[in-house]
Chain A
Amino acid sequence: MQANKDSDGGWRTFVWNSEKKEFLGRTGSSWLKIFLFYVIFYGCLAGIFIGTIQALLLTLSNYKPTYQDRVAPPGLSHTPRSEKSEIAFSLSDASSYKKYTDAMTKFLKKYDDDKQTDQMKFEDCGGKCQLMPERFLKCRDTVSSTPWLIVKLNRIVNFSEGGRPPMNNSVEEFLLPKLKPNLIPIFCKNKREEDADKIGEIKFFGLGEGFPLQYYPYYGKLLHPQYLQPLVAIQFNNLTLNEELRIECKVFGENIGYSEKDRYQGRFDVKFNIAS
């Protein structure tokens, strides 16, 4: 007990020692000195840090990042986003799919016709810039009855996606009819064998059933400020309801690669769970 009291008193005098005019064991001038020391010390450090960061920025190009080996090959992303790779809603409950329709509306906004009228900005793509075909509008409205996905190939600066994939075993037979010049084809199918007859018809809308090559390469934000990447809308016409279905979509092309770990590189799979 005695010891406790002592240490208590010690603590109090430590905070403010009126005898020596010490606050937390230091006098005013001592605090000032140590404060100045740290200000200078940290000032120097901060200065040096900022200096090195500036030096770093000087070495960077404005148009193209130094390394692109991590971002390529490009990812394939879709709107609306899945949550934990699942899209689930109930047809009878409008609120359950509202977030999906909202996400699509928001996404398609920048593709609105009126925003593409400025010829100044779209001069080099001629008429082909009409990325927003009328049919797309449908997907906004009919999402409730037949789910839609809008798919885009991720942008990579100066990356030339190839149109014609190497014609070997890796390309499945079913792709052959879809192959067109200057188009990166996209194809979706069931992920699991047993779902084969449950997914029904899948329709692709866009500038051809894939991504037209004339929109690539992308030259970066600075050179291509208003760049809009081509989209493909995928309509699932006849999904079996009340069942979990896994569907995988894949693009095929020369520079397109896939990774075991990254499920969005050149492909994605999504789980539909639509209740009636």
Chain B
Amino acid sequence: MGLLSDPNRRRALIGLLTRLNAPICVVCYMAGVAWFMGLAFEPFTLRTYMSENAMGSTMVEERFPAGERALATGREFAAHKKKTGGMPVDWLVKTMQSRGLEVFTQRFSRRLPFPDEDKERYMVKGTNVYGILRAPRAPRTEALVLSAPCTAGDHNNQAVGLLLGLAQYFRNQVYWAKDIIFLVNEHDLIGMQAWLEGYHHTNTTGMDWSPLQGRGGSIQAALSLELSSDVVTSLDLVLEGLNGQLPNLDLANLFYAFCQKIGVLCTTQGKLQRNDWDSVSGYSHAVQTMMLMAMKQASGRPWGDHGLFLRYHIEAATIKGINSFRQYKTDATTVGRLLEGMYRKLNNLLERLHQSYFFYLMSSLSHFVSIGYYMPAFGLLGVILLLRVSSTGYLTQFDVVQRSLHAKSIVLALDGDAGLRPVGHGAGLEGAEAGGRALPGRAAGLHRAHQLLPGLHPGSHAGARGRLRHAQRAKVTRLQRLGDRCGSVRSLTSRSSSPPRRVLSAFVLVVLSPACTLLFSVFFFQELQEMPVSFLDGWMLYLSVISQGILDHALYGSLVYPLVALLVYPCWLLFWNILFWK
């Protein structure tokens, strides 16, 4: 007989799980954390490789000559930007037209729910300018996008200059099979969101924009350029987009392949690749890179202008030019050549990028782990939740009931996860907040189901409460981020009867609250980026992170703020109930 259908074996298994519950939980937790840490260890990672056959290798000849002229155009752009105090629309339109593109503009405006931290503005108004280079012989069915943001001050002038220089160079070539759209967006992400919504005829965030007069077909790939200096020492690739979405790994592979071919120093997460993976510092460097990527994905905000393209299934990335104190400098012509090579290869595409991974973590630009490798770590943390369900007496009772009553109905009643009618009050859980209103109903249902069980004394209140408590916790702690809280909190609250223990548990609960976790993450994030902040700066940063999260949700539909406010926070509040249950 099978393991679960044989009653003796089942009883033995259940006994084992209930006896060794805490140790197994601890082991699973350690294993999960160790697995995640081990992902950065180089022998466990895979080298990146090009999956798309149509893109092939870096087998093109890059001939972009006009880096200096591009920088001069950038300076001109800067001058006009200062003169108009915002986006020099007329000058841009004229310049793009002189380069032979079809130029269009789009006006947009947005009222922010509250003024944002840096810029203190309520109403955002702006104009996007974009020029379309039509493919000389191809039908207008597909397009590629190259964009550079127009930021106030002295930033990104060289990016716009390079964009215009590339536009002029690309216009003279005959081998384009897709239209290329050169976009200069104002107000970074807000402008980009307006342009994308206008392009795809959607209006998800309530922004006000004028319809686009010119289009170029379905966009296959997009690159966003951020370049603020004449020479760069390295190029940084930013992949994380809205809600933690990533572009197809082939885009990163393409970038890396061209970096190697041209000989430019390329980084991801701003961290340089190291060769000494077997040393402690090399390994910790890789772990830091990977943790940074995971945290950036968890924050749910787009880390570059490319982040909003991903929602429309357009593979996009941002390339940032970094000028640090290094001897070997790369000039604008070389950066232009790299972009030219990338676009020629993207031109060869016949379908959207889909051959390589969509979910991955990179410990450096040349090594990655795919979801098949990092998900077991979270799976192990999830197993802890299942084990908690099966703890102390719950499963034994379940077994008794199974044998004496009709299996299905009681399983439903005891499970209580879905489909049970919530009763209004009942269990007397006063502490439940608005978000958790559904839960006491289910808990009450359980309470009632408990009364259906024969052979159980109504007086075994403690046992029932324990069962209820455990069942509640099982439903409530379904999220991965709560896995660690569960492991630690449960062990403290299970037998919390003495006041000192309660005080200790309360303190731990406060430390593990969403607010404190976020505060610690902010400090941790700054540490990982090797830019540690003082407490006051960190506190200001923390407040701006919260407000930015709310703004992201309002402006682009980021899901992190609703998730935290409606799911994580109420669950944490429920823990207080568990803690102070009488």
Question: Do the two chains belong together in a single complex?
Answer: no
- Give chain B's interface residues, CB within 8 Å of chain A: none
